[in-house]
């Protein structure tokens, strides 16, 4: 009976979880439960514990001193293409209004002269005039008819490339321009202007010359409203009469004063006398101490 009692007592103690666990002294009661539950068993007391191995941090960008704190700089903005060049002004862009006083002189004092050539360009006469001007390093103003500009835009580009200036001389050279209705007058000016700009985009057109010198307050004011000064002359060579080379030369020599504006023609008819007269006038002007200027 005593032996049976001892066996019952031992069985009861095992069922209650008392006593020791295996051969590990001082074992914790929850160690076996951790193992049974599949968790990581805690290391036994006295056993060496491996040091924690830190996970390496991902690489970080060096701080940018310009940002003032430890922060990676923002990504660089994509490189932008260069800006497009300025485009020529639109044909309907109207410059500021200018004075409508008739221009009959040059832009500087002293012995200066402004040579002006009307009615062109012409494939026959304009190149001859340009060659003579080149020979004497003379600059001139070419008063262009719109219809001619559309026919020969390459000549306009040549004129500008050689350093000369352009003037609007109406679309059709209608000498009745002073009697035209307002709409027709504006059309005569703007159509010629647009023809010039089509040939040489963006070129300045500082002046308008009325066909035949037909001026009224309305013609002057309309030209000025489009940013063109009304260009007249102080010397009419009368080359358009074709009265002879000597007569053309004598007229210019007699009427020219320092600062004068001389009217001649490079189109609108046979200009052989004009070219021949220019051959005599250019060396004479240089010998007289004249320099070549533009109207102002």
Catalytic residue IDs:
118, 265
- Three-state secondary structure call for residue 207: strand
Q: Which two tokens stand for residue 233?
A: 């002359």
Q: Identify whether the C-beta of residue 280 lies closer than 8 Å to the C-beta of residue 245.
A: yes
Question: How far is Cα 69 from Cα 209, in angstroms, rounded to an integer?
Answer: 70
Nearest to 124 by CA among 151, 84, 162, 93: 151
Helical H runs in 102-181? 126-135, 146-151, 153-161
- What is the tally of helices (H) and strands (E) in the chain? 9, 8
Nearest to 159 by CA among 143, 175, 171, 172: 143
Nearest to 201 by CA among 86, 92, 89: 89
DSSP designation for 75: P
In this structure, the number of other CB atoms found within 10 A of the CB of residue 186 comes to: 15
Spatial CB neighbours of 56, under 8 Å, sequence gap ≥ 6 = none
């Amino acid at each position: 009976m005593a032996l049976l009692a001892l066996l019952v007592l031992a069985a009861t103690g095992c069922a209650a979880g008392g006593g020791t666990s295996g051969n590990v002294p001082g074992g914790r009661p929850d160690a076996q439960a951790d193992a049974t539950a599949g968790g990581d068993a805690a290391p036994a007391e006295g056993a060496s514990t491996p040091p924690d191995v830190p996970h390496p941090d991902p690489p970080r960008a060096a701080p940018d001193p310009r940002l003032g704190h430890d922060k990676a700089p923002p990504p660089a903005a994509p490189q932008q293409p260069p800006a497009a060049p300025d485009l020529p002004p639109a044909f309907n862009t109207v410059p500021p209004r200018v004075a409508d006083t008739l221009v009959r002189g040059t832009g500087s004092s002293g012995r200066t002269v402004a040579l002006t050539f009307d009615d062109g360009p012409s494939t026959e006469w304009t190149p001859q005039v340009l060659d003579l001007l080149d020979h004497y390093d003379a600059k001139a103003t070419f008063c262009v008819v719109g219809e001619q500009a559309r026919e020969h835009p390459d000549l306009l580009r040549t004129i500008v490339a050689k350093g000369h200036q352009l003037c609007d001389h109406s679309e059709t050279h209608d000498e009745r321009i002073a009697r035209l209705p307002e709409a027709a007058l504006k059309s005569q000016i703007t159509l010629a202007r647009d023809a010039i700009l089509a040939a040489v985009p963006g070129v300045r057109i500082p002046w308008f010359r009325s066909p035949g010198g037909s001026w009224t307050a309305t013609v002057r004011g309309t030209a000025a409203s489009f940013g063109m000064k009304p260009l007249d002359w102080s010397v009419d060579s009368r080359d358009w009469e074709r009265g002879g080379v000597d007569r053309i030369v004598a007229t210019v020599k007699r009427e020219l004063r320092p600062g004068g504006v001389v009217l001649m023609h490079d189109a609108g008819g046979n200009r052989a006398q004009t070219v021949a007269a220019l051959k005599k006038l250019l060396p004479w002007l240089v010998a007289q101490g004249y320099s070549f200027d533009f109207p102002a």
